[in-house]
Amino acid sequence: MPKKSLADLPASAFADGVTVVRFDLNTPLENGSVADDTRLRAVLPTLAALHGLEARCVLLSHLGRPGGQPAPGLSLRPVAERLSELSGRRVEFVPAVEGPELEAAALGLGPGEALLAENTRFLPGETTNDPALAGSWAGLGSVYVNDAFGAAHRAHASTEGVARAVRSKGGTAVAGPLMERELRFLGEVTSEPARPFVAVLGGAKISGKIDVVEALLERVDRLIIGGAMANTFFLALGLETGNSLVEEDRVPLARTLLERAGDRLMLPIDVRVADALSDAATVRDVERAHVGPSDVIGDIGPRSVRLFTEALAGARTVLWNGPMGVFEMANFAAGTVELARGVADATSAGALTVVGGGDSAAAVRAAGVEERISHVSTGGGASLEFLAGASLPGVEALSDRED
C-alpha cells in the first residue's frame, strides 16, 4: 500500500501527545442501546494495538444524520459504553465534539487510555470539511489514524481535513489495520485478480452502481446481475416486469450494456413473484418470460440460483455487492442466502472472495457464512466508489510511505 499504516510507526511515535483516531461507529441504536455491534467489534483489534503502544487516544466517529446540530437520540454515549464492554477496558465518553472540555479530557488521558468524543456530525463543520474544526482536532496531537473505511469516500473534517491538518504541522496520518485490510483486498480484486473473475451485483437500482458496472465490465470474465437491478435489464429485453421496481429512464443504458457485455453478463432466468412484497403474500417461481402484469418480482428463482452458483464454483476471484432480492422478508430471502453459501463454497475451493458492505454483509451473516468469506467489507458506499475507480479523500489525505 502506498500510504503509511499504523504498523509503520514505532512505539516512540505515541510517547508524546494524543493520537486522534477516526473509527466508523455508525451503528443502529434501539431504546438507548447499541442494537448491532458489528462495526464496534471490527475496531477492537485496532483499539488493542493502540493500547499495546500506550497511545493516548481520542476517538472520533459520526452516527446517523443529525444535520449539523445536537440530536440526543444520536449521541455516541451508548457506543462508548458498549465499546468498554467489548474491549474490557474503559472507553470514556466526553459529551463534546471540540473545545475546552474535549481538550481537557484529552490532556488527562494516561498511556493506553481512550476516550470517545461526541458525534462529529453534531457540528455543521464536519460535513463541510471546515478547516478550523479539522485544525482543532489536529491540535490535540501529532498522529492521526484513520480506520474508518466506511467513511473514507467522504471529504469531511474528521476524515480528510484532520489528516491534512496533522500533516501540515509535521505530524503523520496513517491507515489503521481495518482500513489497510480493506484497501489490500479491494486492491487485489481491482488490480490483478486471479481468473476466472466473477462479479455479482444486486440491489435496487442500476443508477446507483452504473460506474461500478462500467468499470467491472472491463475486468471481469462474468458479471452476474440480480435484485431489482435485473428488472431494468428485463425491460430492455422486452420482457414483462409487472408492478416490479424498474428504472424506465435507464432502459437505454441497460440495452447498451447488454450489447457491450455479450455473454459475459448473466441475468436471472427465473424469478420469484407475488402480488405484493409481503411475508403474507403467496409466492410463485416463474420463468422470467412468464411474469404477469400484476406480478411483483421479489427474488431470483431456484434455477437462477443454480446457474449463478455454478458460475461461482469455477471462479478464482469473486466480488459480490448487493442482495438478489428483498432478503429482509422470509418469502424473498432464498436467492440471497443461497448465493451467500455459493460464495462461501467458492472460498473453500480456493477463490479469493470479497463481499461489499451494507446489505451484502448482512446477507452473509444471515446465511451464517461470514467466517467462510475471504473479506467482508465494512464500507458499502466506499467500496463501490473504490471499485468504480474513484479516489477516496480519506485515503488520499494520508501520509505517503516515502514521506
Could you say which DSSP state residue 21 is in?
E
HSE-up (13 A, CA, CB side) for residue 257? 29
Active site residue 205: yes
Q: Which of 358, 379, 380, 394 is catalytic?
A: 358
Full 3-state SS string of 359-399? HHHHHHHHCCCHHHCCEECCCHHHHHHHHCCCCCHHHHCCC
Cα maximum dimension of the chain: 69
Is 51 exposed, middle or buried, given 0-12, 13-18 or 19+ CB atoms closer than 10 A? Answer: middle
Cell 417461481 found at:
285
Active site residue 39: yes
Active site residue 22: no
Q: How would you classify the pairing of strands 270-274 and 317-321?
A: unpaired
Q: Which of 77, 205, 264, 303 is catalytic?
A: 205
Give, in order, the Cα–Cα distances in Å from 375 to each of 26, 143, 347, 394: 20, 28, 10, 21
Distance CA 277, CA 154 (A): 34
Crossing angle of the two packed helices 77-87 and 44-52, in degrees rounded to 10: 70
Q: Which of 22, 39, 219, 250 is catalytic?
A: 39
Q: Closest by alpha carbon to 254, among 294, 320, 205?
A: 205
Q: Closest by alpha carbon to 1, among 239, 196, 181?
A: 181
Distance of CA 266 to the CA centre of its chain: 25
Preceding omega of 78 cis (within 30 degrees of 0): no
Q: Closest by alpha carbon to 345, among 323, 321, 322, 364?
A: 364
Active site residue 358: yes
Distance CA 300, CA 346 (A): 20
Q: Report the catalytic residues.
A: 39, 205, 358, 381
